Structure 1
Amino acid sequence: MLFTRKEIINFEWSEEMRSSRFAVLVVFVCAVLFTTNCSFYSRIMARKNLVDGSIAYKDRKFADAEQLFRKAAARDPEGATLEGRTAQLFLARTLHSMYIGNRENKGLAQQAVDEYKKAVPQVSHEYAEAKAAYDANKTGSAEQKRFYSALSSVNSTVSAIPSLLESLGDKEKAIQFQKETAANTQLPETARARALVSMGLEYNTCANDITDTEKTKKTVKKDGKDVFQFVKPENPEDLTKLKECVAKGQEFFNPTLALEPELVKNAPSANVKTMNDDELKIFEETISPFDSARSYRASIAVQASRLAEMEGSPDYATLKADADAKRASADEIKKVVKALDAEKEARLAAEQEAANANKANANANANANAAAPK
């Protein structure tokens, strides 16, 4: 069969097109494979850096650990992978530890702050993913471990930054960061409550320093019993300061009530003995900030009632009842914390007993083998 020139030209053009398309396809496939393999290789190397860095950190070779964690973090600066997020957090913690060992080196503190700030959106992202997985399967071992790790990482990260800023003399920046943390609904309630409590501490101390003195705290007889009666301080400026401190303390402590998750609200009915180790860790990490929050809500309420008594306010009885109720609520959580601590100690003792028994059995077997005739 013969072809015309036009048909031959069309055929040749068609072949060229096929070859061109094939070439493009080959390039595309190679690019995809290279990118995929590169990403996979990068994650493998990041894991190796993390393992080696963790060993160096454990051996207190912080300079080596820092370099290894920097390498791992540089492989995923956006924290798109768990390896990248972990590396960024570990880098910040290593610099923090280096500063603790050499507090004269303020540069290390600033570096730690900078790296922690990079870690905040990453640990927040990891928390969101871990929480979604945990909420979908709360009995899953992997989900429990990941959620606890993510929750504790967020809590420690947002607490470390203001602490370091204060050590650098930047109290205003520390407070501003805590305010941003408290208002950030993307963060867990535990982290937000921690920030609020931390900001309120100085005001509770301020109020107590004014009310709890020999001149303002008098012992009187009431119904045949010795009771305390609170009177105004001699200096009017102290009374003004007391009012300001009580108001500021309430401003920070009282909002923590609305942040309490169901786990905290239902904590008194929880049975810690039935929880596995990971559930126990999650439980402790969740209720601990609110144990503190309830205590300080009660404490500032007590200060408010003392102020009302000093001024002869008609609201004194109401404020006193409110303080008593808040103290009862705080005591309720403290009983749970006490039970939790007792359970942890019991499990630790059981583990130690089992380890000692295994060691004794191993020694007995070794002695028996040595004594056996050959």
Structure 2
Amino acid sequence: MRVSRLGIFIIILTTVIIGTNCSYYNQILARKYLVDGANAYKGRKFEEAESLFREAVSRDPEGKTTEGRAAQLFLARTIHSRFIGNRIEKDKADEAIKEYQRALEIDPKDQSSFKAVANLYENLGRDDEALQWKTARANNEQIPPEQRSEALTSLAAKKNNCANEISDTEATKKTVTKDGKQIFEFVKPADEAEFQKLKQCSAEGLDLARKAVELDQNSDSSWSYLASLLIQNMRVAEMEGNKDAAVKFKSESDDAKERFTMLAEARRKKEQEEVDRKKAETEAAAANKKK
């Protein structure tokens, strides 16, 4: 049976119209479930909120709309909240991780979901998975450099803690008098394995911190850990009797600390300006109501 061109056109047009209407209908429903879910969440009715957010997600599982993306993120946060409310339910933590990962599949730049997964892994004591998660983020060239820098800084912080637990003890940190002044002198730990661990954590941490700073020159946190890890390497050099290297690391640390101080002060100033702005807006709105 032959079908006319007009008939084919009508079939295609009808399909498009139905598809468009269906998409719009799903978007409206997703928005409704999203609003209802948000209200349930505010009322701490997390089980109800989870059910509503799942309904919203089902209307746009690929996150093509704003409603779909928001629903996926709120679903993950709701399940996360249920785990926080009852940490015995480890399965809720795993569910939250999976939902956050889905949110990141939709929006790889969603830093809040990345941090939430890292936090969950650490709270569950799954340090190896947390390390893999952060390392993958740090190496992901598809996301903004400042986000990679933040992941690198988090990894550097772990290495700094590792080094400091060995270098900052009564056994390794001695108080001595030099030129009439009391100063700290660092000596090797008695256990050679501990010293090798200190060297490894200090060196690896410094490498991570340098990479973090390269990716984001304006991160005060990155500069802070760079300064700290340079000090850890200074301590190692001092323990090995390498005075020239110790002096070099100390000088670099002073420069990094100066940069950190400047950036931190600028950030605090900006944050205070934002607080003052919001306060002024609130006061102005209150004054207008009285008129």
One of 207, 215, 222 as aligned partner of 1:259:
215
Q: State the AA in 1 paired with 2:65.
A: T
Mapped pair 1:89 → 2:73:
yes
* Residue aligning to 1:337: 267
* Residue aligning to 2:154: 198
Classify 1:191/1:111 alpha carbon distance in 2 versus 1 (closer, same or farther; 3 Å). Answer: same
* Residue aligning to 1:58: 42
TM-score, length basis structure 2:
0.91
* Residue aligning to 2:12: 28
- The structure number with the bigger radius of gyration is 1
Q: State the AA in 2 paired with 1:340.
A: K
CA deviations 1:124-145 (Å, max 9, x no partner) are 2xx5xxxxxxxxxxxxxxxxxx
* Residue aligning to 2:57: 73
One of 209, 224, 237 as aligned partner of 1:295:
224
Quote the Cα distance in structure 1 between the aligned partners of 2:183 and 2:213.
30
* Residue aligning to 2:280: 350
Q: CA deviation at 1:206?
A: 2.0
Q: State the AA in 1 paired with 2:45.
A: K
Q: State the AA in 2 paired with 1:100.
A: I
Decide which moves more: 53-62 or 298-307. Answer: 53-62
Q: Name the count of aligned residue pairs.
A: 290
Quote the Cα distance in structure 2 between the aligned partners of 1:170 and 1:158.
15
Quote the Cα distance in structure 2 between the aligned partners of 1:222 and 1:352.
58
Q: CA deviation at 1:223?
A: 4.1
Quote the Cα distance in structure 1 between the aligned partners of 2:9 and 2:76.
44
Mapped pair 1:211 → 2:140:
no
Flag structure 1 segments of 5+ consecutive residues without an equivalent: 1-15, 128-153, 265-289, 363-374
One of 75, 88, 113 as aligned partner of 2:97:
113
One of 215, 223, 228 as aligned partner of 2:184:
228
Quote the Cα distance in structure 2 between the aligned partners of 1:25 and 1:317.
80
Quote the Cα distance in structure 2 between the aligned partners of 1:82 and 1:352.
29
Q: Secondary structure at the match of 2:107?
A: helix
Q: Secondary structure at the match of 1:255?
A: helix
Q: CA deviation at 1:122?
A: 1.0
Q: State the AA in 1 paired with 2:228.
A: S
TM-score, length basis structure 1:
0.72
Q: CA deviation at 1:340?
A: 2.2
One of 33, 41, 46 as aligned partner of 2:25:
41
Q: CA deviation at 1:90?
A: 1.2
Quote the Cα distance in structure 2 between the aligned partners of 1:180 and 1:206.
21
Q: CA deviation at 1:348?
A: 4.2
Decide which moves more: 344-353 or 193-202. Answer: 344-353
Partners of 1:158 and 1:191 within 8 A in 2: no
Q: Secondary structure at the match of 1:344?
A: helix
Partners of 1:159 and 1:195 within 8 A in 2: no
Q: State the AA in 2 paired with 1:211.
A: S
**1:127-142, aligned counterparts within 5 Å?**
none
Quote the Cα distance in structure 2 between the aligned partners of 1:356 and 1:309.
61
Q: CA deviation at 1:190?
A: 3.1
Q: Secondary structure at the match of 1:213?
A: coil
Quote the Cα distance in structure 2 between the aligned partners of 1:23 and 1:297.
70
Quote the Cα distance in structure 1 between the aligned partners of 2:12 and 2:283.
61
Mapped pair 1:315 → 2:271:
no
Mapped pair 1:305 → 2:234:
yes
Q: Secondary structure at the match of 1:220?
A: strand
Q: CA deviation at 1:226?
A: 2.8
Identity in percent: 44
After superposition, the CA RMSD in angstroms is 2.1
Quote the Cα distance in structure 2 between the aligned partners of 1:190 and 1:110.
28
Q: CA deviation at 1:339?
A: 0.9
Q: Secondary structure at the match of 1:315?
A: helix
Q: State the AA in 2 paired with 1:165.
A: Y
One of 100, 118, 136 as aligned partner of 1:180:
136
Q: State the AA in 1 paired with 2:241.
A: G
Flag structure 2 segments of 5+ consecutive residues without an equivalent: none
Q: CA deviation at 1:77?
A: 1.4
